[in-house]
Copies of this chain bind each other. A is one copy, B any other.
Amino acid sequence: MNAEIVAVGTELLLGQIANTNGAYLAQKLAEIGVNVYYQTVVGDNPDRLESVLKTAEKRSDLILTIGGLGPTEDDLTKQIVAHHLGEPLVIDNDAKAKIDQYGAKLSNNLKQALKIQNAISLTNHNGFAVGDLYLNQHGTSYVLLPGPPSECLMMIDRELMPQLKKLGNQNRVFKSRVLRFAGIGESQLVTDIADLIDHQDNPTIAPYAKLAEVTLRVTASAADEAAADALIQKTVDKILARDGRYFYGYGDDNSLAKVVVNQLIDRQLSVTAAESLTAGEFQSTIGSVPGVSAVFPGGFVTYANEAKQRLLEIPAEVIASHGVVSEATAIWMAKQAKLKMKTDIAVSFTGVAGPDELEDQPAGTVWIGIAYRDEDPQAYLYHFTNGRQQIRARSVLTGLDLIRQRLATN
């Protein structure tokens, strides 16, 4: 099945927002083996939208539109597709009941309960505008999705994908698993498994690099789930045999912070931090994980030297003789933070976020300390690049990875 995504909205066309809905939908379609060969963005203009649909019909079996289902005059996607298909719009009673219940006072809202006759309704769990799946056995099928990301993504996951999986090749299942790595660059990982990637067929392997993280998506198709799982597992085993020490977890909706915090919760190990250049970003990052309060009592942001002395009681002469960006200061920060918060683990960050140098050391010079229970605290030196925000973010991820590595050794 050849699919094409058409995103509708002047704010997309003018570049005020990026087409992240389209990227998400394309990913989900790829996972079930639906090929997307084209994506188009067009404004809220009836003639141009219709001309885009005509071009798309010549080359695609399935057209998925995003946007233009709302209550305003600009929202015309459903009207144009219905007209193009020669089908009337009819009221979807469930959507109307929801609008009557919550949205009666808003003008024009009833428009959002309209669906194309003969289409399957796609429920909107985060809004009023109902979506459509219009199947056309002898021509192009249509899917209509709402534009707001919270509505669109939920409708894709909970309504559209289950329908498409049912429709798809009934004798074939597609499954995929995402492997997440930290502490290794994309180019190194791809080099390590180059032969697997070069000869990929089923499963396929798709690498993707983010800030200080790399993921691999392994996708297999087979006659049933168990067979697909077995294919995936065989490839995963080969990958982990080579780079398993950098692997930290599975899943799209996962992160190094989640994995580390959940390991700490499982093992009942508490954590704190003393942050200089990162200014609270490490603590804020672990704070993003629900349940972290069980292992994280709080910690210190010690930006100025005086704060390091006052809050952590680091002797002034340590900083004076070794410098604030130094192994000794990083070790003292971790040691004192752990002592003061009475935790099992403390991490410390001291370095040069930039743009200016500090103590003659260039931006990106970072010492990260770790104190673990009764062991001697250690500190490690890094040289990060690419500006202030990247230097801080990579420091935080590296601090998380140091904890992960330490937990892996016992």
A303 touching B297 by the CB < 8 A rule? yes
Q: Does A43 lie at the interface of the complex (its beta carbon under 8 Å from any beta carbon of B)?
A: yes
The A332-379 residues at the B interface (CB cut-off 8 A) are 340-341, 353-356
Inter-chain CA distance A38–B95, complex, in Å, is: 32
The interface bits of chain A over 7-30 (1 if a CB of B lies within 8 angstroms of the residue's CB, else 0) are: 000011111111110111111101
B40 touching A392 by the CB < 8 A rule? no
The interface bits of chain A over 265-300 (1 if a CB of B lies within 8 angstroms of the residue's CB, else 0) are: 000000001010111111110111010110011111
B48 touching A37 by the CB < 8 A rule? yes
Q: Closest CB of chain B to A97's CB: distance in Å? A: 23
A38 touching B40 by the CB < 8 A rule? yes
Contacts of A172 in B (CB 8 A): none
Between A12, A36, A301, the greatest number of chain B beta carbons within 10 A of the residue's beta carbon is seen for A301
The interface bits of chain A over 379-393 (1 if a CB of B lies within 8 angstroms of the residue's CB, else 0) are: 000000010110010
- Oligomer: number of copies: 2
Q: Does A79 lie at the interface of the complex (its beta carbon under 8 Å from any beta carbon of B)?
A: no
Determine which of B38, B52, B301 lies in contact with A300 in the assembled complex, contact meaning CB atoms within 8 Å. B301
Contacts of A311 in B (CB 8 A): 298, 300, 311, 340
B298 touching A287 by the CB < 8 A rule? no
* Interface residues in A, total, Cβ within 8 A: 75
Q: Does A104 lie at the interface of the complex (its beta carbon under 8 Å from any beta carbon of B)?
A: no
Inter-chain CA distance A407–B25, complex, in Å, is: 45
B18 touching A19 by the CB < 8 A rule? yes
Q: Given known contacts A15-B26, A281-B287, A311-B311, what 12 new A-B pairs fall within 8 Å (CB)?
A: A14-B27, A15-B22, A18-B20, A37-B48, A38-B40, A278-B287, A279-B296, A280-B284, A281-B281, A287-B303, A298-B307, A298-B311
Q: Interface on A for B, CB 8 Å cutoff?
A: 11-20, 22-28, 30, 36-43, 45, 48, 51-52, 55, 59, 150, 206, 208, 273, 275, 277-284, 286-288, 290, 292-293, 296-304, 306-308, 310-311, 340-341, 353-356, 386, 388-389, 392
Q: Can you spell out 17 A-B residue pairs with CB atoms less than 8 angstroms apart?
A: A13-B36, A14-B30, A15-B30, A39-B41, A51-B59, A55-B55, A278-B287, A279-B283, A279-B286, A280-B299, A281-B284, A287-B303, A288-B388, A290-B354, A297-B303, A297-B304, A300-B300
